[in-house]
Amino acid sequence: MTTTTTTASRALPLAATVLTGTVALYMALVAFGNITDFGTNQAFVQHVLAMDTTFKDDDLMWRAVTSEGLQNAAYVAIIVWETVAALVLVAGTWFGFRRDHARARRLSTAGLLMVMLLFGAGFIGIGGEWFAMWQSDTWNGLDAATRIFLLSGVVLIVTHLPRERAATTGRP
């Protein structure tokens, strides 16, 4: 095996590991921020669920969740999901740096899909469309959610790009 082949075969797993670590860091900081500054994003979730800054169309307002208990339960569930996703991504990053690429890929995939579900299905789909977050000038997180969804998708693609097989082991 040539030095170029060896370098190339290590570059993609390293890139996937570093990118996964980047998303892990982001998710850890988001979860940490939501835990230590609970009230800031709690207000965001409450306003989105209450739909109190939307156009208040009677055909949509029946969807609003105005129960503070349900709003807080949703917010805590989001924080738990963020925390678990961050931990899974940290583990994926750890195994990537340890060159256990199969385990790193599995964990990274799981963590990235968790992030994509939260930001894609949760914030873009449910928050953006079901609760009409797109109508709010004040409480609209669609741009941020889209950025994180796309970043996670790119990292997931890089994680699953075909890799050269090592001549001696027959494994990636």
Q: What end-to-end distance do the CA atoms of the chain give, in Å? A: 14
Which residues lie closer than 8 Å to 2 by C-beta, 6 or more apart? none
CB atoms within 10 A of CB 82: 23
Q: Is it the case that residue 169 has pLDDT exceeding 80?
A: no
pLDDT tier at 163, thresholds 50, 70, 90:
confident
pLDDT tens readout for residues 95-152: 999 999 999 999 999 999 999 999 999 999 999 999 999 999 999 999 999 999 999 9
Token pair of 101, please?
């690429």
Mean pLDDT for the stretch of residues 143-165: 94
pLDDT tier at 3, thresholds 50, 70, 90:
low
What does the alpha-carbon distance between residue 125 and residue 45 come to, in Å, rounded to a whole number? 14
Does residue 162 come out as left (phi exceeding 0), alpha (psi in the -120 to 50 range) or beta? beta
pLDDT tens readout for residues 54-109: 999 999 999 999 999 999 999 999 999 999 999 999 999 999 999 999 999 999 99
Mean pLDDT for the stretch of residues 19-27: 98
CB atoms within 10 A of CB 8: 12
pTM of the complete model:
0.91
Output DSSP code: residue 134.
G
pLDDT tier at 168, thresholds 50, 70, 90:
very low
Q: Which residue has the tokens 């097989």?
A: 165
pLDDT tier at 158, thresholds 50, 70, 90:
very high
CB atoms within 10 A of CB 5: 12
Which residues in 30-45 are b (16+ Cβ under 10 Å) and which e? Answer: bbeebeeeeeebbebb
Mean pLDDT for the stretch of residues 36-43: 97
